[in-house]
Amino acid sequence: MAKKPIEKTETDSQQRELVIRHLKTGWIGLLIFLSLGVLLEVLHGLKLPVYLDVRNSTRRLMWTLAHAHGTLFSLIHLAFACSLTVLGNKNGKSLPAAKLRTTSRCLTGAIVFLPLGFLLGGIWIFDGDPGPGIFLVPIGAILLLIGVVRMILLIR
């Protein structure tokens, strides 16, 4: 019977580093995407056709989605950091390092690709279709899903 390979676990300091990294990502993300929200409100306030004209409704939708998803994903990063803190040493053992790192990378990729895709997709638009930047969105969405699934598996 083959021996089950010993899974490397994250040391406390590495895990703490990860927590800090995601806290930073979350809070910086909030700063960026809430600022984007403020910017969108300014565009509303100034009634700028580039944003409000009905022919630019796709842009408006894309940028609204970038703001909403970016904010939500920032909160997910904070939740991830909190989860790591809460979970700490699961059953007296540290969480598996590789799985944690993959999850962390997936979530980081998601917060970059998905809001950026919406943002770029809204810069150049073709009537009802967003610009080519939109192709980043499914990449971000897949990374997010992987990250979430891995997190569920980690805490199972």
As a whole number of angstroms, the distance between CA 126 and CA 9 comes to 49
- Judged by beta carbon, residue 26 or residue 133, the one nearer another protein is 133
- Helix axes 97-123 and 57-87, enclosed angle (nearest 10): 170
Q: Is 54 in the site for another protein (CB under 8 A)?
A: yes
Answer yes or no: are the C-beta atoms of 101 and 15 closer than 8 Å. Answer: no
Q: Is 132 in the site for another protein (CB under 8 A)?
A: yes
Q: Is 50 in the site for another protein (CB under 8 A)?
A: no
As a whole number of angstroms, the distance between CA 74 and CA 108 comes to 10
H or E element: which one contains 80?
helix 57-87
For another protein, the binding residue among 2, 6, 47, 127 (CB under 8 A) is: 127
User: What are the start-end ranges of the E strands in 9-120?
Assistant: none
Q: Is 53 in the site for another protein (CB under 8 A)?
A: yes
Answer yes or no: are the C-beta atoms of 95 and 87 closer than 8 Å. Answer: yes
Q: Is 102 in the site for another protein (CB under 8 A)?
A: no
For another protein, the binding residue among 16, 55, 90, 105 (CB under 8 A) is: 55
For another protein, the binding residue among 3, 86, 126, 156 (CB under 8 A) is: 126
Binding mask 56-75 for another protein (x = CB under 8 A): xxx-----------------
Give contact residues for another protein (rule: CB under 8 A): 53-58, 126-129, 132
